[in-house]
Amino acid sequence: MKHWTYILLLTIISCNNQQQKVNSTDTLVSTKPSTLTDTKSEICWTGTLNGKTPVFVHYQLDSNLIIGEITYLNTKHKLPIKLLGTIEEDKSYRLLEFDNTGNITGVIEGKPTEEKFDGLWVSPKTKKELSMKLSSKDTLISSPNIKPDESQLFGNYHYQYGDKGYNGDFDINRVTGNKISFNILSLTNVERGPNIAEVEKDTILMTGNSFIYKIPESDSCEFKVTFYKGFVYINYTKGYCESQFGLNATIDGIYLKTK
């Protein structure tokens, strides 16, 4: 326990002291598109959930993606939890807490300013809601590399909102050279149906860490698959695929690598 506490204290001190402050013109959203090879900087927050539970949050930004961790400071070992999310069109943040199995244990929503990040934390399992109030030290530290190892891309990716909530699986395998095979299956809330969004197994050439795929015989259902270290992000390139899948079912989102 002393070992983890020492590491956490060093991280927080680094956030407070080691890097120069953000200029007033630097918002939390990057002012230019970033690439996986850019030098990244971490953004740090401290505060509480429901005014009682102390938390430490830090992350980096890559375009509209948020990649970081959250640590509950009142836990015995103070182990960081993976935090992945997106910046929405209105500049609000939607962050997901992932355990190692791809289960989402918490959802954070809010719109940060340079000084504060106030929002709501929700449990997908119990639906419990807690207010969140975080303060920024207005400092940056170096971020870990999020570029994926191409030899580690293949396998299974998964997400799950609670025992019976929305869930999805993305599988990818190498065929030969740059040719890969993949398939996607996502389900809506089990208690309400469920409805299905599926992309049947197909092959495609992939160069680098991403590929774009148009569903055969669809009018304009196209999506991009981008790999990061430990997860994959799927987003539509031509708007939501109307009538392509079951009611409220969708394939877009963040899937954690589990196998």
What digits encode the pLDDT tens for the residues 126-155?
A: 999 999 999 997 666 678 889 998 888 999
Q: What pTM was estimated for this model as a whole? A: 0.82
Name the nearest CA neighbour of 136 among 27, 46, 69, 8: 46
* Phi, psi torsion values for 169, nearest 5 degrees: -135, 135
pLDDT in tens, 170-223: 999 999 989 999 999 999 987 767 899 999 999 999 988 999 999 998 988 999
For the domain 2-142, what is the CATH code?
2.40.128.120
Give the pLDDT of residue 243: 85
Cβ-Cβ contacts under 8 Å for 95 (sequence gap 6 or more): 59, 66, 70, 83, 84, 85, 107, 108, 109
* Phi, psi torsion values for 241, nearest 5 degrees: -80, 85
Residue 70 buriedness (CB in 10 A; 0-12 / 13-18 / 19+):
buried
Name the nearest CA neighbour of 223 among 186, 259, 258: 186
Give the pLDDT of residue 19: 37
> Residue 211 is which amino acid?
F
The structural domains of the chain, with segments of one domain joined by +, span: 2-142, 150-257
Strand, coil or helix: what is 231? strand
Give the pLDDT of residue 140: 66
CA distance 173 to 185: 15
Whether residue 97 contacts residue 106, with contact meaning beta carbons closer than 8 Å, is answered with yes
pLDDT in tens, 33-80: 334 444 557 899 999 999 999 999 999 999 999 999 999 999 999 999
Whether residue 166 contacts residue 188, with contact meaning beta carbons closer than 8 Å, is answered with yes
pLDDT tier for residue 6 given thresholds of 50, 70 and 90: very low
